[in-house]
Structure 1
Amino acid sequence: MEILDKIIELLPLLLPVVLIDLGFKIYAIIDIVKEDRRVRWNNKIIWILISVLINFGWIFYFLFGRDE
């Protein structure tokens, strides 16, 4: 039960981080799939995979993937 107690103790700290990460992932995916959005290397599928599968991958997209 010690592990469960530690998880319950850390939950208030982890929940906001998880929700912020999820929100930015959703925002990144919406931004990537826009028809008028150009992404670096012209491969939106790769940027979606990076944004979803890598922890905080959306940071890489916003820093390096957007082609203005």
Structure 2
Amino acid sequence: MENLNYIWLFVPVIVINLILVIVSLRDLFKNRRVRYGSIVIWILIILFIQIIGPILYLTIGRDD
């Protein structure tokens, strides 16, 4: 039962991660242009490198 108290500490991190993933994937599919690599590689980076992957895409991967 004590472990359930610690789960609430991770809820904000999980919510922030989900928001970043959704925003990144939405932008990727909307624009269909990336600066480095291909779209498939960026999808894998966004999905499997938690928190850092979406931030990388939003900062260096987007082709503005």
Match of 1:53 in 2: 48
5+ residue gaps, structure 2: none
TM-score by length of 2: 0.83
Q: 1:10-67 CA deviation, whole Å, 9 max, x = no partner?
A: 1111011101101110111010011x44211351111111000111110110111011
Answer 1 or 2: higher relative contact order, Cα 8 Å, separation at least 6: 2
Count of residue pairs the alignment pairs up: 63
Partner in structure 1 of residue 35 of structure 2: 40
Task: Specify the code of the residue in structure 2 equivalent to 1:11.
Answer: I
Structure showing greater Rg: 1
Q: Please, what is the CA RMSD of the aligned residues?
A: 1.5
Using the size of structure 1 for normalisation, the TM-score is 0.79
Of 2, 6, 30, which aligns to 1:5? 2
Aligned to 1:55, the other structure's residue is in SS state coil
Q: Which runs of 5+ in 1 are unaligned?
A: none
CA separation of 1:13 and 1:27: change in aligned 2, threshold 3 A: same
4+ runs deviating over 3 angstroms: none
Counterpart CA distance in 1 for 2:39 and 2:12 is 28
Tell me, what secondary structure is at the counterpart of 1:26? helix
